[in-house]
């Protein structure tokens, strides 16, 4: 969510190695742009909690986002934040259209964004950071995805699809 909203690739200027893994465990997180609406920043930070049990599940995320989608025009604060964010994105888009994209993004040669097994030993216990200044969110380690979490996601998506199928059958 943060990468999409900020339009910035996380950790693109540093090697993706053991040192980065340790820093992430000690609380390093990508910067959150100050232009991202606060209600979304709060959700991003919840998803970055060091303890997996404190992070929202796929079902909870769906419910939160769905609620915001349904109440977006009823909640003045959310509407105001979205409007302001839209104006800023429009300005950024106009400025960026004049740039050469290949010159604007410099990626470290050891910043690798493909799936691969990272087998680092002796990593510290993940912690949440208390440094939230300037939206520099520093939090937990990269979550390990267990079979139960993957199963939960698929179960919930199947539930949604079944509900949609039932509604379509009734129509």
What confidence tens digit (pLDDT) does each residue in 9-40 have?
A: 899 889 999 999 999 999 999 889 888 988 89
pLDDT for res 130: 62
State CA 149 to chain mean position distance.
17
Q: What is the DSSP letter of 141?
A: P
Query: Sign (positive/negative) of CA torsion 9, 14, 18, 19?
Result: negative
pLDDT for res 131: 57
Q: Determine contact, residues 137/29, Cβ cutoff 8 Å.
A: yes
Q: Determine contact, residues 21/112, Cβ cutoff 8 Å.
A: no
pLDDT for res 137: 38
3-class state of residue 93 by DSSP: helix
What average pLDDT does this structure show over 156-160? 55
Position 80 pLDDT exceeds 70: yes
If 0-12 CB within 10 Å is exposed, 13-18 middle and 19+ buried, where does residue 119 land?
exposed
Position 103 pLDDT exceeds 70: no
pLDDT for res 147: 39
pLDDT band at 7 (very low <50, low <70, confident <90, very high): confident
Q: What is the DSSP letter of 126?
A: P
What are the structure tokens assigned to 43, written together?
């959700």
């Amino acid at each position: 969510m943060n990468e999409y909203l900020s339009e910035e690739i996380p950790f693109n200027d540093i090697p993706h190695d053991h040192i980065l893994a340790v820093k992430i465990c000690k609380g390093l997180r990508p910067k959150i742009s100050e232009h991202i609406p606060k209600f979304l920043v709060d959700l991003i930070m919840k998803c970055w909690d060091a303890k997996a049990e404190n992070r929202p599940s796929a079902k909870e995320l769906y419910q939160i986002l769905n609620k915001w989608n349904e109440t977006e025009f009823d909640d003045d604060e959310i509407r105001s934040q979205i409007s302001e964010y839209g104006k800023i994105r429009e300005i950024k888009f106009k400025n960026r259209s004049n740039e050469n994209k290949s010159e604007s993004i410099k990626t470290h040669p050891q910043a690798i964004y493909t799936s691969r097994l990272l087998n680092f030993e002796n990593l510290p216990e993940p912690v949440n950071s208390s440094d939230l200044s300037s939206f520099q969110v520093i939090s937990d380690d990269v979550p390990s995805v267990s079979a139960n979490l993957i199963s939960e996601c698929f179960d919930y998506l199947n539930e949604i699809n079944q509900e949609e199928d039932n509604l379509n059958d009734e129509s």
